[in-house]
Amino acid sequence: MSLLAKHQQPDANGRIQHITPESAGWRFVGFDVYLLKQGQTLTLESGEKELCLVLVAGLASVKTQYADFPDIGKRQSPFERTPPYSVYVPHHDRVEVVADSDLELAVCSAPGQGDLPARLIAPQDVGVEHRGKGRNKRLVHNILPDDKPADSLLVVEVYTDEGDTSSYPSHKHDQEDSPDETYLEETYYHRFQPEQGFAMQRVYTDDRSLDECMAPYNRDVVTVPRGYHPVATLAGYDNYYLNVMAGPVRKWKFTWEKDHAWVNSDDYPVKEK
């Protein structure tokens, strides 16, 4: 089974990506992307899942059974590098999205079982941080981290400049019942500026029983069922990706690959670009 899902032409509902636990061969994470035209309406039932709707680009009005969030959104491109508007939707709910402009909408899903209310996650609610140094720097927007209420979902977006790496040094989160790791499935939704760009992403385990290197292009998705999963950008192209994670324990705990952990230390010389 390939870990790379190429984007498709929009279907009647505008959907270009459709990742389910069944299609990915795992248990928790679902991920969809819709490209909606201005004025188009999308209706979704959450069923047994909780949802996090991320406005990757564009404006929308979002209504659930018990909450109304009109006229949200600000950025017209993720590469404006401002935090997005998002909406959390609990299980057993119904949501209607009206595109107030052309809209790129990501729908993140995972099992839901609590009684949390629907809520707006505004840009000021998103934690912004800079990680790494040298050629291993990235900008991170923590949309739905593990210290904010949800049942299963963890959602974050990451910006990596041309020629830099991210999700690096290589780390993994694939062990259950471990004091050092949590089991978290993960998807990467890639975007590039300019749009014809691509990156290199490798997914691999210590014993190399899984070892796959991919070249995701604009709006492709890489699925990470287990193992390490670094991303390397190429000259000329800045990279954005939206990460969705979920597992049996809603906590992001990971371990570094021993061979490359030194990149986090003072032994890694930072050279001027």
Residue 1 belongs to some domain of the structure: no
Short-list 120, 145, 129, 108, CA closest to 34: 108
Please tell me the distance from the alpha carbon of residue 205 to that of residue 202, in angstroms, as a whole number: 10
pLDDT at 35: 98
Mean pLDDT in the chain?
96
Q: Give how far the C-alpha of residue 263 lies from the chain's centroid of Cα atoms, to the nearest Å.
A: 24
Residue 271 belongs to some domain of the structure: no
Residue 106 belongs to some domain of the structure: yes
- pTM listed for this prediction: 0.97
pLDDT digits (tens, 9 = 90+) for 6-64: 999 999 999 999 999 999 999 999 999 999 999 999 999 999 999 999 999 999 999 99
Which range marks the domain in which residue 37 is found? 11-259
Residue 2 belongs to some domain of the structure: no
Using 50, 70 and 90 to split pLDDT, how confident is the model at 270? confident
Q: What percent of the chain is modeled with pLDDT above 90?
A: 95
Please tell me the distance from the alpha carbon of residue 43 to that of residue 95, in angstroms, as a whole number: 6
Q: CATH number of the domain that 74 lies in? A: 2.60.120.10
Using 50, 70 and 90 to split pLDDT, how confident is the model at 267? confident
Residue 12 DSSP SS3: coil
Residue 6 belongs to some domain of the structure: no
Residue 266 belongs to some domain of the structure: no
Number of domains in the chain: 1
How many Cα neighbours within 13 Å face the side chain of 265?
A: 7
Residue 82 belongs to some domain of the structure: yes
